[in-house]
């Protein structure tokens, strides 16, 4: 099977690099509009100590707690890792969140991390922290299936840049998680490896395409995970699984060694159980990478984890007229309104704004088809069409995506790309009068796994526009519906304002109880 090198050259693109593809399709103007933004200013440094739990046998609930216990000797990295696998053994038959477990390698890494601490070497806050990895990230010597039967035996020859950086930061990787095939969808379903189930309700979707990562973290296994987000694949599982996730500004986190879904819309980022852990994960993953032609030089220099505690007093949040509450289920609308009230009580200003591209100027379905699926066909279409038994190797959603993408005229696609800098500028102008936008992450709570494509398609109004404009957004739990299913709040900021977004998300999280609730399927 094919392999992906550092510049993400999948078979079927005539070995186009991401930069070649961008130049060929006139995206350079839009990229310049995004990467020319100045870095966000550093926030004041602050931290809060984590108390030792009364029952030392309890699994650590945060990276800070785990780090404290590993360093004070009440928990070894090896013991922590073994406890994670005990939980996986119990929960995986119900959740089906893994494609591959790396148990032997993880335990050896855990022992090495213990030896390092004993000898005085401390790699930092992620030293010895178990995480999970979405199976479109290359890990040397292991298959990167991208959730597809066609790529079951596709072996990676080197680590993705983010995997290398996370290893250097000290993590223990528990395994590679399940996902929608080729990241094509938000359902968490997979015809080859089976569907991933939501730990809040097993017959409901966990969201996708980073479904396995979302389900495992919500169930209390691991303290962080990697995802990718083209049209919502970090934000959707964060919302429907009741955890946190961030889609960073395009170019902030390297895409080298990730199999692409869209060469102009892809981003990579972390998911976690709380905002502080999300910031620690982003600190390890972010940074300029010469291996990724789309990586940005405009990188903030301050650590995100050191910029969290400034609160929201004096900040302005925008509610978009004819957008934030349009076509939104009542429990979701009520939760987002309550979230806005909470931020106001914390000293923020809530104001209504008008942003024409969000209020109907953009046709989200056409954007999805004309940009994302055109590029997906460029990436995978030739390989699919040149494979004699393709219909046996590729799932129906992937086949449909390639078919639709192959019918998008090059001229139509290029017109969409030429329009992109103007749309970006129009949306960015709104940040002159506010610090961030508030929207639901999705208009509904998790649908049934067997729900229709129409049910899953409703969320594009809150995900695709910010993919197209390359804006960062963080999702944090903000409530539950009558069935006990989580609701996510999306906070959207200007380019490279991740530090501010995380600070906002933490202020909200600290003032609300939603991150303290666990699903029925949980590793206690």
Residues annotated as catalytic are 134, 209, 233
Interacting residues of 91 by C-beta distance below 8 A, sequence separation 6+: 97, 199, 219, 221, 521, 523
Residue 305 tokens read as 């984890």
Q: Residue length, the chain? A: 524
CA dist 205 and 450 (Å) reads 8
- Residue with structure tokens 């449909």? 400
**305-328 per-residue burial string, b: 16 or more CB within 10 A, e: under 16:** bbbbbbbbeebbbbbbeebbbbeb
Burial code (b: 16+ CB inside 10 Å, e: under 16) for 451-481 equals eeeeebeebbbbbbbbbbbbbbbbbbbbbbb
Question: What do you get for the CA distance between the two ends of the chain, in Å?
Answer: 40
d(CA 303, CA 322): 36
Identify the H or E element spanning 85: helix 77-95
CA distance 380 to 8: 12
DSSP 166-222: HHHHT-EEEEEE--SGGG--SS---TTT----BTTBTTB---SSSHHHHHHHHTT-S
DSSP symbol at 429: G
Q: Which tokens sit at 61?
A: 């609930």
| 407 Cβ contact list (under 8 Å, min separation 6) | none
Distance CA 379, CA 68 (A): 45
Residues 119, 144 contacting (CB under 8 angstroms) = no
Q: Count of CB atoms within 10 A of residue 13's CB?
A: 21
Q: Is the distance from CB of 253 to CB of 477 less than 8 angstroms?
A: no
The span from the CA of 232 to the CA of 235, in Å, is 5
SS3 280: helix
Tokens of 150: 């066609």
Q: Can you tell me the distance from the alpha carbon of 309 to that of 44, in angstroms, rounded to the nearest whole number? A: 7
The Cα 98–Cα 143 span in angstroms is 13
Contact 456, 447 (CB under 8 A): yes
CA pair distance 130, 144, nearest whole angstrom: 20
């Amino acid at each position: 099977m094919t392999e992906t090198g550092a510049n993400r050259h999948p078979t079927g693109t005539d070995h186009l690099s991401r930069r070649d593809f961008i130049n060929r399709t006139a995206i350079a103007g839009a990229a310049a509009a995004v990467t020319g933004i100045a870095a966000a200013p550093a926030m004041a440094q602050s931290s809060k100590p984590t108390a030792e739990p009364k029952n030392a046998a309890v699994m650590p609930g945060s990276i800070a707690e785990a780090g404290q216990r590993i360093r004070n000797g009440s928990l070894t990295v090896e013991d922590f890792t073994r406890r994670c696998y005990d939980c996986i053994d119990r929960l995986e038959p119900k959740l089906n969140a893994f494609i591959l477990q790396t148990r032997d390698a993880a335990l050896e890494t855990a022992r090495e991390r213990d030896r390092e601490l004993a000898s005085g070497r401390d790699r930092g806050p992620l030293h010895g922290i178990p995480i999970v990895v979405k199976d479109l990230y290359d890990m040397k010597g292991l298959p990167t299936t991208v959730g597809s039967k066609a790529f079951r035996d596709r072996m990676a020859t080197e680590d993705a840049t983010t995997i290398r950086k996370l290893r250097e930061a000290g993590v223990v990787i528990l395994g590679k998680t399940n996902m929608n095939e080729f990241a094509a969808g938000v359902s968490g379903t997979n015809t080859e490896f089976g569907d991933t189930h939501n730990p809040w309700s097993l017959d409901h979707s966990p969201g996708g395409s980073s479904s396995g990562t979302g389900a495992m973290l919500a169930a209390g296994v691991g303290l962080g995970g990697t995802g990718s987000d083209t049209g919502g694949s970090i934000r959707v599982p964060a919302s429907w699984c009741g955890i946190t996730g961030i889609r960073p500004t395009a170019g902030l986190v390297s895409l080298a060694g990730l199999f692409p879904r869209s060469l102009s819309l892809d981003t990579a980022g972390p998911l976690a159980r709380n905002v502080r852990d999300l910031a620690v994960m982003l600190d390890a993953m972010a940074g300029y990478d010469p291996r990724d032609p789309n990586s940005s030089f405009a990188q903030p220099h301050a650590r995100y984890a050191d910029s969290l505690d400034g609160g929201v007093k004096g900040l302005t949040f925008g509610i978009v007229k004819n957008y934030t509450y349009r076509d939104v289920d009542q429990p979701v609308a009520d939760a987002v309104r309550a979230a806005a009230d909470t931020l106001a009580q914390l000293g923020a200003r809530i104001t209504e704004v008008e942003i024409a591209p969000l209020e109907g100027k953009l046709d989200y379905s056409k954007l999805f088809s004309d940009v994302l699926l055109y590029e997906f066909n460029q990436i995978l279409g030739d390989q699919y069409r040149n494979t004699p038994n393709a219909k046996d190797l590729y799932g129906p959603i992937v086949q449909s995506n390639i078919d639709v993408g192959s019918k998008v005229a090059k001229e139509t696609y290029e017109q969409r790309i030429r329009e992109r800098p103007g749309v970006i500028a129009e949306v960015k102008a709104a940040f002159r009068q506010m610090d961030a936008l508030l929207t639901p992450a999705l208009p509904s709570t998790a649908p049934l796994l067997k729900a229709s494509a129409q049910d899953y398609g409703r969320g594009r109004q809150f995900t695709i526009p910010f993919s197209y404009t390359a804006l960062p957004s963080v999702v944090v739990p903000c409530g539950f519906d009558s069935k006990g299913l989580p609701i996510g709040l999306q906070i959207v900021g200007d380019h490279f304002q991740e530090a501010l977004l995380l600070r906002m998300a933490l202020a909200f999280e600290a003032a609300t109880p939603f991150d303290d609730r666990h699903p029925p399927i949980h590793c206690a």
